[in-house]
Chain A
Amino acid sequence: MSAPGPDPARAEAASMAALIERAEADLAIAEEPSRFAAALEAGAPAGDRREARPA
């Protein structure tokens, strides 16, 4: 009886973890997921940018 082959799901997750390990080293502490939406808003064409709301 042959040994079971490697679990493909586990192998794929491991390769994803390795990618994160390589990429996370220089992530700034200030980086957070919500800055994605902020990047989109900031990158919109200038004439289309919304006025900042008053505090």
Chain B
Amino acid sequence: MTGWTLVALAAAVRARKISPLEITRDCLARIERLDPRIRAFITVDRTGALARAQALEADAMAGRWLGPLHGVPLAHKDLFRIAPLPTSCGSKTAEYFVCERDATAVMRLTDAGAITLGKLNMAELAMGPYGDNAHHGDVQNPWRMGHVSGGSSSGSGAAVAAALALGALGTDTGGSIRLPAGCCGIVGLKPTYGRVSRAGAMPLSWSMDHIGPMARTVQDVALMLEVIAGEDPADATASARPVDDYLAGLERPIRGLRVALADNYYFDGVAPDVARAVQEMARALERLGARVEPLRLPDPQVIHDVSGIVARAESTVVHTRILRERPHELQPAVRARLEVGERISAHDYLQALRLRARLTREFVQDVFDEADLVLTPVTPTAAPALAEVTAGDGEAIAARMGRFSRLTRPWNGLGLPVLALPCGASLDGLPIGAQIVGRPFDEATVLRAGHAYEQATDWHRRRPTPP
């Protein structure tokens, strides 16, 4: 399993070189062997996955192909409704999120032939950047046990990195796709707000939530995005804009693309090895013909703070019941974050939403006049030790959490497409990730630049050796 990419595996199934049942059995065996220590899964659907694989194998034998993911085993964050499996959202309650229909994004993957292996561990209620979870176990970083996997789509990051699944869906409200992608050395895409339907997924903050793919290569992520993106009558915020052929666009050269290397905020307090890796990535893009220039961005701290106000207020409203009726079930850090939301006034929440509109308009006008893409690190350091970041009192932990996600959160407020991909290794060998940010709905250019970089480098080929 460890050598396959999603695209290569789909092609091998199509060429009848490997059968869906064989791959699914391999994945399940790997999960059984490794997951008791990695803790990437909350629910493994062995019976359902094998039955589905068998049906897909029969289809393949008869020459019936459901779509581009025929026979590819995936797994998804445990906040997507996928009947009949329970949806805990990382909470103590097995059936926390009840919804009348399955998640649109998952249904689209299934319709394209994917197999669902099960549901993945996550930070409780998708609130937390590290991947620790008191109810379902702390997700371990497959590169080094005891180090954070990144959150909140922690199981998605770890499962893909450890080759337990070929790809996964995650969600991103303040960095929850990009942080685990960065920490686990895989690729994750937070699409433009509205590019992917949020129907059937637990909301955390409906103004800031994004659903996106996580996989081993940019090409894999492009294929998954192509399948899940697009209009959805079940989600009024899903854009009716046509979906690009992302895969076909990947091979176009990037010569002449203008790449801005963020000149303010994004390198403040960043570890030297992380800064070096991203700067080296900029040089690699230059060698591919891109024009890289430093650019001072409109103060990201403002949109960061505005996004925080909106996300806190909305998440408290969404999770009012558990906060009022069963607060003892919540981890202290989650409860503390929800309690902040109770104290945000309607005035401040609405002003934050109005400010967000203005800040986004100004950013798009000012920055994309000067550049086609913006390049930044994902996290200030490579994956820290979990014991280190969870030490001390609540206030110290919260401050650390804020610093860990300060480079990802501004992009949720601005709603722009952001690709996180590996671009280096820390002094002690852990993955380092970079963010490539593009114009609204210009996932095609973001993916193209990421793919060109991947073709010129080897960082995406590095694999952890899980325990």
Which residues of A pack against B, CB within 8 Å? 8-10, 12-13, 16-17, 19-20, 23-24, 27-28, 31-45, 48, 50
Other 6 A-B pairs with CB < 8 A, given A19-B309, A41-B440 = A8-B395, A9-B336, A23-B302, A40-B360, A42-B364, A44-B241
B194 interface residue, CB < 8 Å from A? Answer: yes
B351: contacting residue among A9, A20, A35, A48, CB under 8 A: A20
Nearest CB of chain A from residue B237's CB, rounded to whole Å: 8
CB contact between B308 and one of A16, A37, A48 (< 8 Å): that residue: A16
Per the CB 8 Å criterion, the residue count for chain B at the interface is 48
Stretch from B45-53, B163-171, B221-229, B339-347 that touches the partner = B339-347
Return the chain B residue nearest A15 by Cβ.
Answer: B305
Q: What residues of chain A lie closer than 8 Å to B340, measured between beta carbons?
A: 9, 12-13, 16
Alpha-carbon distance between A37 and B415 when the two chains are bound, in angstroms? 9
| Complex contact B441–A39 (CB within 8 A) | no
Q: Given A36-B360, A36-B415, answer yes or no on A19-B305 (Cβ-Cβ < 8 Å).
A: yes
CA distance A27 to B347 in the complex (A): 13
Interface pair B356/A36, CB less than 8 Å apart: yes
Query: Shortest CB–CB separation between residue B350 and chain A, in angstroms?
Result: 7
Q: Is B456 an interface residue (CB 8 A)?
A: no
- CB pair A10–B343 under 8 Å, yes or no, is yes
- Interface hub of A12, A17, A40 (most chain B Cβ within 10 A): A40
Chain B, interface SS category: helix
The interface residues of chain A lying within 8 Å CB-to-CB of B361 are 35, 39, 42-43
CA distance A23 to B358 in the complex (A): 11
**Roughly how many angstroms separate A55 CA and B177 CA in the complex, as a whole number?**
39
Are B192 and A20 within 8 A (Cβ)?
Answer: no
Interface of B toward A, CB cutoff 8 Å: 192-194, 207, 237, 239-242, 244, 302, 305-306, 308-309, 312, 336, 339-340, 342-345, 347-348, 350-358, 360-361, 364-365, 368, 394-395, 398, 415, 439-442, 445
Report the 7 A-B pairs with minimum CB-CB distance, sorted nearest first: A43-B364, A13-B343, A35-B357, A33-B353, A40-B440, A39-B361, A44-B441
| Residues of chain B lying within 8 A (CB to CB) of residue A40 | 192-194, 360, 364, 415, 440-441
CB pair A32 B343 closer than 8 Å: no
Residues of the B chain whose Cβ atoms lie less than 8 Å from the Cβ of A13: 340, 343-344
* Residue of B305, B350, B364 touching A16 (CB-CB under 8 A): B305
Do B309 and A44 have beta carbons less than 8 Å apart? no
Option from A12, A23, A35, A38 in Cβ contact (under 8 Å) with B306: A23
Task: Return chain B residues, CB-CB under 8 Å to A23.
Answer: 302, 306, 351, 355
Q: Which residues of B contact A12 (CB under 8 A)?
A: 340, 343
Q: Cβ of A27 and Cβ of B348 under 8 Å apart?
A: no
Residues of B near A17 (CB, < 8 A) are 344-345, 348
Asked if A9 and B343 make an inter-chain contact with CB atoms under 8 angstroms apart, the answer reads yes
Cross-chain contact of B348 among A16, A36, A45, A50 (Cβ < 8 A): A16
Separation of A33 and B398 alpha carbons in the complex (Å): 28
Given known A36-B357, A40-B360, contact A45–B309 (CB-CB < 8 A): no
Q: When the two chains form their complex, are residues A45 and B441 in contact, meaning their CB atoms are under 8 A apart? A: yes
Say which residue of B350, B358, B394, B439 sits within 8 Å of A45 (CB atoms): B439
A44 and B440 within 8 A (CB): yes
Contacts of B355 in A (CB 8 A): 20, 23-24, 27, 31
What is the CA–CA distance of A21 and B347 in the complex, to the nearest angstrom? 10
How far is the CB of A8 from the nearest CB of chain B, in Å?
A: 6
A39–B361 CA distance with the chains assembled, in angstroms: 5
B170 to chain A minimum Cβ distance, whole angstroms, is 21
Residues in B whose Cβ lies below 8 Å from that of A16:
305, 308-309, 312, 340, 344, 348
Residues in B with CB closer than 8 Å to A42 are: 361, 364
